[in-house]
Amino acid sequence: MSPAFPGIDGDDVANGRVLLLHGLVRSSGSLAKLERAIAAKGFETLNFTYPSRRFPLEQLADIVFQSAAGFIERNDGPLHIVTHSMGGLVARALIAQHRPACLGRVVMLGPPNQGSEIADLLDGTRLYRWAFGPAGAQLTTRRNAHPSPVDFALGVIAADRPFDPLSWLIIPGPNDGKVAVARTRIDGMADHVTLHATHTLMVRNKAVIRETIHFLRHGCFVSGSILSTHRRQAE
């Protein structure tokens, strides 16, 4: 593979496997480019479509576990998880309900860890419930105002380029058109970085892919927040 993602040390030993979880009303195809990049760096990957519109988050976590139990429960190396959007909340539910014994690092892209104002605006309408199902109703800021801290190695990548300029009227502060940068954060995370990308297309963004792979290998981002800066200075 050509060096499409500069900043990743090709001499590092990549190991373990990576479970990829797409977002709401998406499919495994949305993460295909990211999966190929991760696999090219030596990780075994599993990227499949789950019925994101049909069930609440807790049940989706059960479905993911049942569908990928053999991959998740293996003990021949760390299991890492990479998610996009609502997939991050599915991953949190998966870890809470079926914590893998060999859990490695987790990277969340644009996760609504503290909910989304877009969900606040549309929640309760018939069209929203029909289009996004029970999990969509779980994405409001009211429901996610105080998420439980995570107790695993988590890196969060936020984006700050909304495709729709009207999102600035709905979402306060920097946002990716769906989720405010501030609402991607969660207590206990190891690192956080904000990149110039949109919510939907960040999974194909070269900088996002580079940072994802760097965190899987090193537990910090190339250009992360003060969290990783302090850690690197201490090493």
- Which domains occur in the chain, in start order? 17-234 (3.40.50.1820)
pLDDT digits (tens, 9 = 90+) for 56-89: 999 999 999 999 999 999 998 999 999 999 999 9
Band of the pLDDT at 169, cuts 50, 70, 90? confident
Band of the pLDDT at 224, cuts 50, 70, 90? low
Contact 84, 203 (CB under 8 A): yes
Band of the pLDDT at 164, cuts 50, 70, 90? confident
CA atoms within 13 A on the CB side of 209: 20
What is the per-residue pLDDT for 228? 45
What is the per-residue pLDDT for 227? 53
Contact 20, 216 (CB under 8 A): no
CA atoms within 13 A on the CB side of 232: 14
Of 199, 83, 57, the closest CA to residue 137 belongs to: 57
pLDDT digits (tens, 9 = 90+) for 22-55: 999 899 999 999 999 999 999 999 999 999 999 9
Average pLDDT, the chain: 88
Q: Which residues contact 76 (CB under 8 A, 6 or more apart)?
A: none
Report the Cα–Cα distance between both ends of the chain, in Å, rounded.
31
